[in-house]
Every structure is written in structure tokens, then in C-alpha cells.
């Protein structure tokens, strides 16, 4: 080939994670899997005891988050892509779960204010401000992942 000649390679190369990222991803899958398995038993015990329904509700939301994160990590590892649609949808669902929880959890008799309440009048509290803020942050994060997913699809089309 001459100096001004060039070749084009249109073969798609397999996507790979770096060794460090692969190790961290496998570790995260293992740990969230353990939390999901152990958390199931813990939530079942809490539901049977019903001592403090507020703590049980927090634990149930946390357990559902752990399961959703576990599933998302497995899908990321299987597809070898960071920005996958199921991750965006799971984070969106988590955000709405937190927002709904912020409005529901305040009506339990064992609820104690976190110090940041939305629309409080006497003993009535419309929403827990910390949970509501966290839920909104999850919705924003979901939107960012959606944009990243669209950018990744655009880059895949270009390449």
C-alpha cells in the first residue's frame, strides 16, 4: 500500500469492560445479590411482627431498591453496556416509589418527622421532605441516564 492509501474496517468489535470495572461489577452483583436474599427474610420477619410500621415500610422500600439494583447490574454485565434501558426504567420506578412513599409514610401512626416536612399543619404532614427530595433526584438521574442511552445509540449508529 502506498502512503496515501488507507483501509476501512467496518467489523464491529466486541465491547469489553476493563478488568478493574469487571471486578467491581461482579463484586457489586455478588453483594447486592446477598442483600436481596438476606433482605427477603428480614422483611418477612418485620411484616409478621408489625411493631413499627414506619420502619417496616422503609425496609420494604429499601429491599425493593436492592432487588432492582441487583437486576440492573446483572443486565449491565450481560449486555456489556452501561446505559441500558432497563437501568433507566428501574431508576425511574425507584424515584416514583420514593415520591409515593413520601406522601404515604407520613400517615402512619408511628411516623416521626425527619425535620423537613412539606405542608405541615398541627399533626398533619402532607409529605416527608427528605424522601420527596430524594425521589426528585432519582427522577433527574433517570433523565440523565436516558440522555446517555440516546447518546450511546447515536454513537453506535455512527460507528
**Separation CA 111–CA 34 (nearest Å):** 29
- Minimum mean pLDDT range among 11-15, 53-57, 113-117, 155-159: 11-15
Average pLDDT (131-139) is 92
pTM: 0.71
Query: Residue 1: CB partners within 8 Å, gap ≥ 6?
Result: 7
Note the pLDDT of residue 142: 92
Average pLDDT (61-83) is 86
What CA–CA distances, in Å, run from 98 to 88, 91, 132, 134?
Answer: 16, 11, 7, 7
What Rg do the C-alpha atoms of the chain give, in angstroms? 22
Amino acid at each position: 500500500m502506498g502512503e496515501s492509501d488507507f483501509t476501512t474496517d467496518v467489523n464491529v468489535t466486541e465491547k469489553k469492560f476493563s478488568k478493574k470495572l469487571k471486578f467491581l461489577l461482579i463484586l457489586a452483583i455478588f453483594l447486592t445479590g446477598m442483600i436481596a436474599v438476606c433482605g427477603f427474610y428480614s422483611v418477612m420477619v418485620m411484616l409478621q411482627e408489625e411493631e413499627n410500621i414506619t420502619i417496616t415500610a422503609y425496609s420494604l422500600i429499601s429491599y425493593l431498591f436492592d432487588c432492582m439494583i441487583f437486576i440492573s447490574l446483572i443486565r449491565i454485565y450481560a449486555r456489556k453496556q452501561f446505559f441500558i434501558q432497563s437501568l433507566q426504567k428501574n431508576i425511574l420506578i425507584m424515584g416514583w416509589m420514593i415520591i409515593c412513599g413520601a406522601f404515604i409514610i407520613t400517615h402512619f401512626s408511628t411516623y416521626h418527622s425527619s425535620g423537613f416536612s412539606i405542608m405541615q399543619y398541627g399533626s398533619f404532614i402532607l409529605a416527608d421532605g427528605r424522601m420527596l427530595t430524594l425521589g426528585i433526584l432519582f427522577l433527574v438521574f433517570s433523565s440523565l441516564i436516558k440522555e446517555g442511552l440516546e447518546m450511546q445509540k447515536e454513537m453506535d449508529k455512527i460507528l
